[in-house]
Structure 1
Amino acid sequence: MYHRIWTFSNFLLIIGSIIYIWFFRPHDSILIVISQFSAQIAMILFIFNVNMYFIFLLIRKTKQRKVKIRLATFSRYFMKWHIKIAITATLLIIGHSWINLFKIGPILGYGHIKMLMGYTSFIFLLVTLFAGYLRHKKASGFRKKFHRIIAMTFTVIFLIHMLIPI
């Protein structure tokens, strides 16, 4: 039941952001369009990575052995891509940030709430990457929990940043 709600939420978030960005926030500048596109792809990649937590949660909570085996097999394969996806999404966000700092910042103002939430989400992204690096080097219970909490906090902050209108 919960996995269906979570899947629907992911689908709604991706489709909703596509509709919002491409139909309600169009821009004339090709750089802004590139920025929007890179942010869109990065968001999808980050959501994909965050979903790993919920896959592991389902593995722990489900009583059905076949479901556990399928999810465990998928997660073993996917975890090989987790770091690569995070780095790719981060590079896309760096491009998005630079373009917006130079094109949107002077127009909107560097102290606008959208920009401030962007700065905050970028800082949490860096902390998430650092926590992931520490967890990768030595997976203690504290490092695992810290990485998960920071990643979820980052996800909430970047979603707030995304939803704030200009």
Structure 2
Amino acid sequence: MGIYFSHIDTLVGMAAAAVDDDGALLEFTFLNGEMSNHMACADKAEHAPQKLRHVTQQVHDFFDRKRTSFNLNMKPKGTPFQQKVWQALCTIPFGETWSYQELAISIGDAKATQAVGAANGKNPIALIIPCHRVIGKNGTLIGYGGGLPLKQKLLDFETPLLF
């Protein structure tokens, strides 16, 4: 199976994404020195921006406010529990936040808050699987692979403008 990557310039900084032969998204990371990319790099994948046009277009549309969600085939690698958490993350609407406890409740296990937090932190497809929308129970920003300043920028971007 081939893996292909490209860099994507976004409103909040440079990112990298990786897809497989079928164009399924395997990884999306911000290149701000906080997140680690496992596949979207030259020693693991072939640099092939043309194979990621669909990802690049949707990311640009998102930051151009032309879309609030993504329609991409995704194949994140993780345990069944992590997969369940990541699927739940995709149900958090644009502009909203959930607590880790609310996320645990959404997967049917109110006591799994810490496990949900750990799974959230292992999300290999940042932004598209919106782990940045999960905050502490008291409304504070807690943990983000890209760092709290990036998490705040993403949440601010999604906050409706008041006129």
Range into which the TM-score falls when normalised by the shorter chain: under 0.3
Name which one, 1 or 2, has greater alpha-carbon Rg. 1
Between Structure 1 and Structure 2, which shows a larger proportion of helix residues?
Answer: 1
Between Structure 1 and Structure 2, which shows a larger proportion of strand residues?
Answer: 2
TM-score by length of 2: 0.28
